[in-house]
Amino acid sequence: MRQLLALTAAFMLLGLLAAPAALAAVDGYEYAYTYTYDYWEDMRESPDAYRARLMISGGSLGIPGGLKAPQGLFVRGEDIYICDTGNNRVLQLRLTDSSAEVVRVIDAFQGDTSPLTFSSPRDIYVTEEGDLFIADFNNNRVVRLDRDLNWKLSFTKPTDATFDQSVSFLPKKLVADVSGRVYALAQNVNKGLIKFEADGSFTGYIGASKVRYTWYDSIWRLLSTKEQRAQQEAFVPTEYDNVALDQDGFFYVVTRTFSENDLRSGQAEPVRRLNAIGDNILVENGSSYVIGDLQWAPGNTNITNSGPSKFVDVTVLQDDIYMVLDSTHNRIFGYDQQGNLLWAFGGVGNSDGFFNRPVAIEHMGLELLILDEAGSLTVMTPTEYGQLVYQAIGEYRRGEYEASAASWTKVLAQNGNFDSAYVGIGRALLQEEKYEDAMRYFKTALDRKNYSEAWRLRRMEIVEDNIGLIFAAVAVLLVAPPLWRRIRKVIWEVKQAS
Amino acid sequence: MSTRKSALSRPLIESAWWKRFLASVRYSGYVMFHPFDGFWDLTHEHRGTVAAANFFVIMLLLTRLFTLQHTNMMFLRVYWPKVNIFQQCISLLMPLGIYCVCNWGLTTLFDGKGTLKDVYIATAYALVPYIIGALIIIPLSNVITLEEGSFYSVISTFTTIWSALLLVCGMIQIHDYSLGKTLLFLVMTVLAMAVVIFLLLLFLTLVGDGIGYFISLYKEINFRLN
C-alpha cells in the first residue's frame, strides 16, 4: 500500500512538471485555440491563423465616456468607424503601433433636419467619397451625411402598404451601394433587406427567406385548435441579424433564427450570399455546411455559451474568403469561396484573442477587427500560417497553379490535418496533368468529386496508352471461339479417321 | 444447362466429402436461376449441405470486410477508427442466427416442414446473389467514376432484391407454404427477432448488473478487511 502511495506521488509530481507544457503553448496561447474539422466532423488542431495584435478599450482612447455598448463597426481605408451606441455617437479611429487615436468624435451634424444628434446609432456605412450612412436606431431613421457632417438625406419609415405601419422603423444594420441606395435591416422586420433608392424612396424588400412548412407541421396545425394555433410558434420568415457587402456588391447576411435540425440538414443557411433578386448563391461545396461548429452540446437557451454557433456578423476578405463571428462561443470561423472551413478560433474570456460579447467584425486588408459590446476593439493579425493559406488560395484563383501547390505544401508542413491543403495540392496537380498524384492527394482528403475527375482523366490516359492492347484483346475475344471450334472439329475428324 | 444437370444428378452420397461439398456449392448456381426447383431439391433431395451453407456465410463475412477495405473511396468512405472486425462479423452473424431460430420456431408451430438445418441452408443459399454482386462491385468501383455510379447502385440493388426473392422462394419450398403465408411469416419472423433482441438485451443488462453487484460486494469486503 505504501509503495502504491509513493508511486502515485511520483506520478503526480511528474504530472505537475508536464502540466504547464500540456495546458498552454510557450507563447501563452491555449492548445487548440485554432482548429478545423475533418471530413468526419472530428475537431482537428490547427496552427494559429490569427493572433491578437491590439486590444483597444474605451479607456485607452482617452475620451470621456469610453466605449459604452458599441454595436456597429465599419472600416474604410485606414479609418475605423465605431458606433458608440450607448454614448449616442460615432467614433472615427486610426490605428497606431500600440493603440489607436481618435480622429473624430461624431455626435452631432449640421443641416435642415431635426434632431441633429443621434439616439442609439447601431450601424454605419461609409462610401468611397466619405459620405456616412448611419442607422439612427431610436430616431427611426437612416441619415446620410457628407464627409464634413452636413446632412444630406434621411431614410425614414416606408409609407408603403407592405410595411407594417403599427411597428416603428428601427434600423439596426445597413449597407449602401455606389449609387447611394441603402439596404437596411430593421428590428421586427422579417421580409429581408429594406431597399431605399438614392433619393430616399422605399422600393421593396430583398431576400426574405422562404417559409418552410413540412408535412408534419401542416398535420399538426390541422389538428390543433384555434387557441393552440395562436400559441404556437408563428410560421414567419427568419429575420436577418447582419449584412455586409463583398467586393462584387453581393450581400452577405447572417441569421440566428433556426432549429438545430435544420442546421444539421443544411436547410437553415445561417450565412447567405444574396444576389440582387434575393436568391442565396453561397457556395457550400465543403464537406460540411457553413454552420460554424459541427459539434455542440445540446442547446439550452438558459445557459449562455452553449448550443450551435450563432452568427452575428460577417466580413468578406479578398478572394471571397469570409469570416463569420459567432456569439455562442465567441469564435470566428473562416471559410473559403467554396465553403470549406479554413479555421475556427477565439473563445469566451477576457484575455487577448477572447471575447465577452462580440457584436461586429470587419477587416482591414488581412487584419480582422472585432468589436466587443463589453467595450473593446480587438485587432487580430494573420500569422505566417494564415498568410500562407491566403497566398495559396489567391495563387490558385489567379491561375498560378504551380506556385499554389508550393504554398499548399508549405501549409501542409505546418498542418497535416488540413484537408483543404491536400485538395489544394491535388487541384494544382490536376491542372498540371499529373492525375495519379492528384488522385493520391484527393484520396487523403476524401474528396470524391475531385478524385472522380482525376480518375476519369487518368483512365482516359490508360486507355489511350494501351489502345493497341485493348483492340488486340477484343479481336482475340471475337476470333478465339470460332477458331477453337474449328480446331476441335479438325481433331475430332482426325480421331474419327484413325 | 443439360450437361450440368446430368452431372448433378449423379449420386452424391457415395462420393468423397469434398466432392459432395464442391457439388453442393456449385448447386447454388442452379438455385439462383431455378429457385423453386432448386430449393425443393436443396433440402428434399439433400443437394445442399451445411458445409456449403457455412461456406456462404463465411464468404458473406469476407465480402463485408473486402467491401470495407477495397471499395473505392468515391462510393464508400470508411471511418476506420470505429471499425472493428469482430463487431462487423457479429453484426452479420447475430441477425442471421436470430433469424434462423425465430423463423424455425414460428414455422414449426404453424405446420412448417423445414427443420432448423433446412432454414439455415436455404437462407445461406439465398445470400449467394448478394455475395456475387458485392464481389462484382468491389472491382467495378475502382474502374468507374462518380458519374457512372449508377452502375454501382444498380448492381448492388439488383443483387440484393434477387437475394430477397430467393429467400422468399426458399421459405415457400422448405416449409411447403403458400406465398401469402410465407410473406406473413417473414413479417412475423421480423417481429419475433425484435422480441428476441429485446430479451437478449434485458438478459445481458440484468446479468451485467448482477455481476456488478458481486464485484462491488467483493470490493467492499476487501476494503473493510484492509
Give the strand order in the sheet containing A151-155: A121-126, A132-136, A141-145, A151-155
Query: In this structure, are A378 and A433 located in the same domain?
Result: no
Closest CA in chain A for residue B226: A1
Q: Going along A327-449, which residue ranges are E strands?
A: 331-335, 341-346, 358-364, 367-372, 376-382
**Cα angle: A174, vertex A180, A182; to 5 degrees:** 25
C-alpha cell read off for A354: 477572447
CB contact under 8 A, B147 and A452: yes
Query: In this structure, are A439 and A486 located in the same domain?
Result: no
DSSP annotation string for B167-206: HHHHHHHHHT--HHHHHHHHHHHHHHHHHHHHHHHHHHHH
Q: Going along A329-488, which residue ranges are E strands?
A: 331-335, 341-346, 358-364, 367-372, 376-382
B74 Cβ under 8 Å from any chain A Cβ: yes
* Assembly ipTM: 0.81
Within a domain: A376: yes
Chain B neighbors of A422, CB-CB under 8 A = none
Could you report the per-residue pLDDT of B146-175, keeping only the tens digit for each?
A: 999 999 999 999 999 999 999 999 999 999
Query: In this structure, are A360 and A454 located in the same domain?
Result: no
> Which residue from B73, B145, B146 is facing A443, i.e. has the nearest CB?
B73
pLDDT of residue B2: 43
Q: How far is CA B29 from the centre of its chain?
A: 17
Within a domain: A10: no
Within a domain: A94: yes
Cβ pairs A/B, distance under 8 A: 25
Query: In this structure, are A121 and A270 located in the same domain?
Result: yes
Query: In this structure, are A347 and A444 located in the same domain?
Result: no
Query: In this structure, are A294 and A216 located in the same domain?
Result: yes
Chain A neighbors of B79, CB-CB under 8 A = 40
For residue A101, the surrounding DSSP H or E stretch is strand A100-106
- Distance in Å, alpha carbon of B145 to nearest chain A alpha carbon: 5
Within a domain: A446: yes
From chain A residues 92-151, the ones with a CB under 8 A of any chain B CB are: none
Disruptive mutation site among A2, A41, A452 for chain B (greatest number of B CBs within 10 Å): A452
Give A126's strand partners: A132
Query: In this structure, are A115 and A252 located in the same domain?
Result: yes
pLDDT of residue A221: 77
pLDDT band at A6; cut points 50, 70, 90: low
> Which residue from A39, A449, A459 is facing B146, i.e. has the nearest CB?
A449
CB contact under 8 A, A1 and B73: no
CB contact under 8 A, B146 and A448: yes
Residues A240 and A255: beta-carbon distance below 8 Å: yes
- Distance in Å, alpha carbon of A438 to nearest chain B alpha carbon: 14
pLDDT band at A17; cut points 50, 70, 90: very low
Query: In this structure, are A422 and A293 located in the same domain?
Result: no
Query: In this structure, are A356 and A498 located in the same domain?
Result: no
Average pLDDT over every residue of A259-282: 89
From chain A residues 34-53, the ones with a CB under 8 A of any chain B CB are: 39-40
CB contact under 8 A, A451 and B74: yes
B77 Cβ under 8 Å from any chain A Cβ: yes
CB contact under 8 A, B77 and A455: no
For residue B166, the surrounding DSSP H or E stretch is helix B149-175
Total Cβ atoms within 10 A of residue A238: 21
Could you report the per-residue pLDDT of A45-84, keeping only the tens digit for each?
A: 999 999 999 999 988 888 888 899 999 999 999 999 999 9
Could you report the per-residue pLDDT of B101-135, keeping only the tens digit for each?
A: 999 999 999 988 899 999 999 999 999 999 999 99
Chain A neighbors of B141, CB-CB under 8 A = none
Query: In this structure, are A41 and A114 located in the same domain?
Result: yes
CB contact under 8 A, A1 and B226: yes
pTM as predicted: 0.82
pLDDT band at A302; cut points 50, 70, 90: low
Chain B neighbors of A470, CB-CB under 8 A = none
Query: In this structure, are A439 and A317 located in the same domain?
Result: no
Within a domain: A17: no
Disruptive mutation site among B71, B72, B73 for chain A (greatest number of A CBs within 10 Å): B73
Within a domain: A221: yes
CB contact under 8 A, A459 and B146: no
pLDDT of residue A258: 85
pLDDT band at B44; cut points 50, 70, 90: confident
Closest CA in chain B for residue A456: B145
CB contact under 8 A, B77 and A39: yes
Query: In this structure, are A298 and A371 located in the same domain?
Result: yes
Domain count, chain A: 3
Closest CA in chain B for residue A448: B74
- Has residue A29 got a pLDDT over 80? no
Q: Which of A377, A379, A374 is nearest to A86 (CA)?
A: A374
> Which residues have a Cβ under 8 Å from the Cβ of A208 and sit 6 or more positions away?
A190, A191, A192, A237, A278
From chain A residues 414-443, the ones with a CB under 8 A of any chain B CB are: 443
B222 Cβ under 8 Å from any chain A Cβ: no
> Which residues have a Cβ under 8 Å from the Cβ of B127 and sit 6 or more positions away?
B56, B57, B60, B163
What's the domain range around A113? 34-382
Between these two residues, A330 and A211, which has the higher pLDDT value?
A: A330
Chain B neighbors of A459, CB-CB under 8 A = 143, 145
Residues A307 and A297: beta-carbon distance below 8 Å: yes
